[in-house]
Chains A and B, each alone.
Chain A
Amino acid sequence: MKRLVVGAHYGLRDWLAQRITAVVMALYMVTIGFVLFSGKPVTYDAWRSLFAQGWMRVATLLFAFSLAWHAWVGVRDILMDYIHPTALRLSLQVATLLLLAVYLGWTVQILWR
């Protein structure tokens, strides 16, 4: 007999998403770290042309998307653990989602202008 033991089933998906997005962000940051700390002084032209390249824009957008998803899972876990009044927790969760949406919009605006 097949029985459903738990509820909404988003636990595994979020857990997995948090780990995949973590790996994406780690790879991006190690790459950027090598660019920034390679010893060459970073000039405006180098900085601008780095973010003018298509792959860099896509990679940065992927990073921002990963951060938003990763942060949503993490912040939601923190709020579920420490903020028990439902109204306050819901308000903070909505505020978090709005903040992350603003981050994504801001990122797009910075990258493609």
Chain B
Amino acid sequence: MSSAAAKKVRPKYLSLPAILFQIRLPVAGWVSILHRVSGALLVFPFAAWLLYVLDVSLASEQGFARIKDHYLQLPVVKAAALIFIWALCHHFCAGIRYLLIDVQVGVDLPAARYSGAAVIVAGLLLTAFFGARLW
């Protein structure tokens, strides 16, 4: 091992500013970091939010009407729902890509780049589709 290699600090951790501004993240890297961001958002706050909506809507007819006719019509709630839909759709599509890569489908670089871009686009298209149905 050369002395230059020995001096490098490993493992190397990249901070968020480093990911955003210092290095050029390849498209698969963007899929990966967005998979983490969307996953974290789905755990908190969106899972708690979903449970709250399920709880109130199942508890009583008044609760159901309040959620459907009032709560889900609020602009701020619709905006939050849009972020939730994106997080879910991106996480879903990226997850399917990882499952396929696990079984050796699309492992080589051109295919992985193509599927990575496809996941980001599909996540946005599905968000537009379900968002349009929400509005």
Q: Which of B22-30, B43-51, B75-83 is found at the contact surface with chain A?
A: B43-51
Task: For chain B, residues 40 to 58, give those with C-beta under 8 angstroms from any C-beta of chain A.
Answer: 40, 42-44, 47-48, 51, 54-55, 57-58
Q: How many A-B residue pairs have CB under 8 A?
A: 56
Q: Is A44 located at the chain interface by the 8 A CB criterion?
A: yes
By the criterion CB–CB under 8 Å, are A44 and B64 in contact? Answer: yes
Q: How far is the CA of A29 from the CA of B68 in the complex (A)?
A: 20
For B47, give the chain A residue with the smallest CB separation. Answer: A103
**Using Cβ atoms and an 8 Å threshold, which residues of chain A touch B48?**
99, 103
Query: Quick one: CB contact mask for A1-30 with B, threshold 8 Å, 1 for yes?
Result: 000000000000000000100110010010
**Using Cβ atoms and an 8 Å threshold, which residues of chain B touch A82?**
13
Q: Number of B residues whose C-beta is below 8 Å from A?
A: 25
Q: How far is the CA of A24 from the CA of B55 in the complex (A)?
A: 22
Q: How far is the CA of A37 from the CA of B43 in the complex (A)?
A: 24
By the criterion CB–CB under 8 Å, are A19 and B39 in contact? Answer: no
By the criterion CB–CB under 8 Å, are A26 and B96 in contact? Answer: yes
Task: For chain A, residues 34 to 68, give those with C-beta under 8 angstroms from any C-beta of chain B.
Answer: 37, 42, 44, 47-48, 51, 67
Q: How far is the CA of A75 from the CA of B38 in the complex (A)?
A: 11
Interface size class of A (residues with CB under 8 A): 20 to 34
Q: How far is the CB of A48 from chain B (nearest CB, A)?
A: 6
By the criterion CB–CB under 8 Å, are B61 and A78 in contact? Answer: no
Q: How far is the CA of A82 from the CA of B14 in the complex (A)?
A: 9
Q: Is B102 located at the chain interface by the 8 A CB criterion?
A: yes
**Using Cβ atoms and an 8 Å threshold, which residues of chain A touch B102?**
19
**Using Cβ atoms and an 8 Å threshold, which residues of chain A touch B43?**
71, 74-75, 96, 99-100
Interface residues of B (CB under 8 A from A): 13, 36, 39-40, 42-44, 47-48, 51, 54-55, 57-58, 61, 64-65, 68, 88, 92, 95-96, 99, 102, 133
